[in-house]
Amino acid sequence: MKLFILAAGKGDRLWPLTRNTPKSLLDFGDGTTILERQLENALQSGLFSEINIVTGYKSEQIEAKLKDLKASIPICTIFNPLFEITNNLISLWTAHLAMLDQDFMVTNGDNIYIADVFRKVQTDRTEAIQLTIDFKDEYDEDDMKVRFGRGRSVGRVHKDITGEEINAESVGLALIKGKNNRRLFVNKIIELVRNKEYLQKFWLEVFNALAEDGVTVDVAEIGPDEWQEVDFHPDVDVMKKIVFEDGSRD
């Protein structure tokens, strides 16, 4: 299985922290970065045979960091040359050819999970298209909300879902298993990027398009205390707390 980490964005909302540093290389305060923690947890899971990092902003810094890392599996970069003028659906598209030969997971480059999340969302099924979710008492305007369709499958995922239509939150981690599902997922990416209006869309739009086609998108649940997204300055302090608490349990 492969892991794809989408880390091409500029991180404008964390300025000036990201003025000279890509978001994924922000320091936790212990000398390690978001990216290093992601890689460490992925490697500890034992699930992956290869990790691909989609880069863009300050890509040379990520490439330099990887040269210093010793890993038991290949860790590669895929450069998105359109990162300044597009959203992360295009980052996903730049990696689509590498998605056909093995099952894979996709995660945002600004998410940090506690160590066992990758194993937790893995499934024994040979065929799956699955989005990871959590449940909260209240959802913020910037949360990527989920509305269920039939059963607990994904009907729609978007920030603009409101009120009683909100069933859960997407945590930005997905699993694609099975040859047919890999091909289905990749073909849907290609179809969407041919439409100019999708150049500024989030990669999770792929799941909306699949659900509209009648494809079942399953969900896997983790707790809201098992991950943190780093979008705004207060998120950095919360992220550090999660990391240090997780580390204390190792």
Which has more pLDDT, 97 or 237?
97
Question: Is residue 143 in a domain?
Answer: no
Question: Is residue 141 in a domain?
Answer: no
Question: Is residue 229 in a domain?
Answer: yes
pLDDT, residue 65, reads 92
CATH of the domain at 32: 3.90.550.10
What is the tally of structural domains in the chain? 1
Predicted structure pTM score: 0.91
Bridge partners, residue 193, by sequence: none
pLDDT, residue 24, reads 86
Which has more pLDDT, 202 or 229?
202
What residue numbers bound the domain in which 116 lies? 2-132+170-248
* Residue 7 · residue 77 · CB < 8 Å: no
pLDDT digits (tens, 9 = 90+) for 58-112: 999 999 999 988 888 999 999 999 999 999 999 999 999 999 999 999 999 988 8
Question: Is residue 54 in a domain?
Answer: yes
Question: Is residue 138 in a domain?
Answer: no
pLDDT digits (tens, 9 = 90+) for 147-203: 999 889 999 999 999 999 999 999 999 999 999 999 999 999 999 999 999 999 999
pLDDT band at 32; cut points 50, 70, 90? confident
**CA–CA separation, 221 and 219 (whole Å):** 7
Question: Is residue 244 in a domain?
Answer: yes
Question: Is residue 160 in a domain?
Answer: no
Radius of gyration of the chain (CA): 17
Mean pLDDT of 24-39: 83
pLDDT, residue 20, reads 76
Write out the two tokens for 217: 């998108």
